[in-house]
Chain A
Amino acid sequence: MTANDVVVARASEVAAKPPLERTLERKGADGSVVAPPWLARKTAERMAALGKLLRTTAFKLTLVYLIVFALFAAFLLGYFAWNTRRLINEQITETVDAEIQGLGDQYRQGGIRRLVFAIEARARRPGSSLYLLTTAAGEGVAGNVGSLATGILDNPGWFETVYRRVDEQDASEHHALVRVDQLPGGFHLLVGRDLEERERLYDVVLSAGRWSVAIVVVMGLAGGFFVARRVLTRIDAMTQTTRTIMQGDLHERLPVVGTGDELDRLAINLNAMLERIEALMHGLKEVSDNIAHDLKTPLTRMRNRCEEALRAAQSETQYREALQGTIEESEALITTFNALLTIARAESGQARDDMVAFDAAEIVRGIGELYEPLADDKGLGLKVEAGTATWVRGNRELISQALANLVDNAIKYGASGGSVVNGHPAEILLKAADRGDRILLSVADNGPGIADADRGRVLERFVRLEQSRSEPGSGLGLSLASAIARLHGGELILEDNHPGLVSALSLPRLPPPLPTA
């Protein structure tokens, strides 16, 4: 077959199959009864919904419970019926035994006459008792039994048999439980009870059983359907939401009904997970935005500088200067880049792996010691108040870096307010303080401070307030400190120092470790 043949075959197939819509229309035109397409669609939808329902876990569970329960109910009723029958039989045998005993006594005391008399008297009483006395040859002498199954009277013992009563005209057969006894003199004595009562009771129990099983099945099915529907609606809502989320809308949250059941707990946990993912995605997006926006500026500057040098530089000195400038610019870029990476890592929680318990006061002293000469150089006093041990759990290096950034800022801006404030020389105070369940590592300066309105904003990346534009820096110092504080379950607090700024890392406090022997 060539490729052309295939095409032809396909085309003929298409021609042979008229579209469904047209088939329906034509049939309608013929006058035959055809369901309108919308109804067919609706039915198909319903079938699909039903199919989905039948496949649900809730429905399957209900079905299994239902079967187990119905079987149990049937067994219970069966046992009840059987036991009732046994009880009735027992009662019958007991009374029949007693009567045979009594009639036997009559026979022994008064002979056949007295026995016949007694039997006639008893047989006339209304009730279900049966009596028959026959001769050895089988001729009836007395009693209320008309006919019997053959051969019953031949042997003594218990029998369940059919019989007819003497006084009944319709000649219908009844069931009875009888005992045959042989009296001295060749007479056969039969005493029994009609079983109609027992059968009727049995029937009542059986039909009650059938009904109750039927009701159990119907109710169970309805209940299962209802439960499955209810659960299914909620799960469907969840599925719908997750689908929206998968399509990229991370703001969506799963519905929480508020009953606190398993589905609610699941939804709450999934929502918490989504929250975290969204925060991470947001952080990632912000970083890439910032990189795009703020790294491009220095890169452009660098490029311009190089171009300018290529175009206009006359001497080796000028080239050298241009190259020097380029290296400085690229170093600043690397610093910015590293800070961004550290922020991203802190925000994604990656650095959480290597956290240890350590004394934060020691870090405060260390950073104080590192920066003291620099502060001194700028004409600022730097005081450290970190006497007692304050234990926190975290990444030592990162907390040192955060604190170093705060001190760096304090030194940068603390001197700009003049070297004398309120009659005192301007100073920077580094403090490690224990505030109950928090440890505050604070840096206070006497600089211009940050206006209330700007305090939230300065924590954002690359935000540098107007008055600080002239100072060198990436604008990442505070946001880095803030990200590090959040990584440790704390926060960066900015407050007024009257005058100046207090910036503090507030970290969760750890109980001091037990001294190791």
Chain B
Amino acid sequence: MRLLIIEDDRDAADYLAKAFREVGHVADLAADGEEGLAHAIDGQYDVLIVDRMLPKLDGLSIIGTLRSKGVATPALILSALGQVDDRVKGLRAGGDDYLSKPYSFSELLARTEVLARRHGGREEMVYRVGDLELDRLSHRVTRGDGEIVLQPREFRLLEYLMKHAGQVVTRTMLLENVWDYHFDPQTNVIDVHISRLRSKIDKGFAQPLLHTVRGAGYMIRDSK
């Protein structure tokens, strides 16, 4: 995955680049808005990570300009402004995701990977992971020969996990995408939902599919 990080805080940018390279990605840096815009237009990037407040040209303007030029590279906005209306503004300006500072690297990594994949496009009608199958049209879930009966929300949870099969999905991502809530609940409610789902899809099978990734989130994957 090729990334462009547009961030004026040197330390933060270096830290991010280093962390992304450690997990095997290519990361370029731009220290101000104009440089970032030029790089984003020229380079072939999979994802842009854009700080919102930048010298010379602010993050939202960069994304606006890119979109008006027809550059559709997915962009994740990083910002210290984390309130609901700030994120709405960011997404309206053409951003694809929004993460407020301070963030954890695992959260950022999970989100960028999802963005890169989404851009590649995975919109099949039937998701398959191992012997687990989810039909998005008929809302039927089967594993092996048996059908699994899910509540509507459990279905959406599984759908989201399977859409990003093989990728880490964080709790916040689930809360935002499956429930559409953008606040952090005091207790981790998602864990209980996941364990319910897990008992429905993994119980009685030798091979677990739904895995907990420590310190990051969850992943559905065929471990064979």
Which residues in A have some Cβ–Cβ distance to B below 8 Å? 327, 330-331, 334-335, 338, 341-342, 345, 351, 353-354, 366, 369-371, 373-374, 376-377, 395, 397-398, 400-401, 404-405, 408, 411-412, 472-474, 477
Contacts and interface: CB of A to CB of B under 8 A. Distances in A.
B153 A369 contact: yes
Contacts of B84: 351, 354, 395, 397-398
Contacts of B196: 373
Interface of B: 82-85, 88, 102, 104, 153, 179, 181-187, 189, 192-193, 195-196
Contact of B187 (A334, A374, A400): A374
B153 to A, nearest CB: 6
B85 A373 contact: no
B104 to A, nearest CB: 8
Q: Which 5 A-B pairs have the closest CB atoms?
A: A373-B192, A401-B183, A397-B84, A374-B192, A408-B186
Contacts of B83: 341-342, 345, 351
A334 B181 CA distance: 18
A408 B181 CA distance: 15
The CB with the most chain B CB atoms within 10 A, among A342, A370, A377, is that of A370
11 contacts: A330-B102, A345-B83, A351-B83, A354-B84, A370-B179, A370-B181, A374-B189, A377-B192, A397-B84, A404-B185, A474-B186
Contacts of B85: 351, 353-354
B33 to A, nearest CB: 26
Contacts of B104: 327, 331
B106 to A, nearest CB: 11
B183 A397 contact: yes
B179 A405 contact: no
Given A371-B189, A374-B189, A412-B187, 15 more contacts: A335-B184, A335-B186, A338-B184, A354-B88, A369-B153, A370-B181, A373-B192, A373-B195, A374-B192, A376-B192, A377-B192, A395-B84, A398-B84, A401-B183, A405-B186
Nearest to B193: A373
Contacts of A405: 186
Contacts of A370: 179, 181, 185, 189, 193
B181 to A, nearest CB: 6
B207 to A, nearest CB: 24
Contacts of A412: 187
A377 B189 CA distance: 10
B209 to A, nearest CB: 20
Given A397-B84, A477-B186, A334 B102 contact: yes
A338 B82 contact: yes
Contact of B181 (A330, A400, A474): A400
Contacts of A353: 85
A412 B187 CA distance: 9
Most buried by A among B104, B182, B185: B185
A331 B171 CA distance: 14
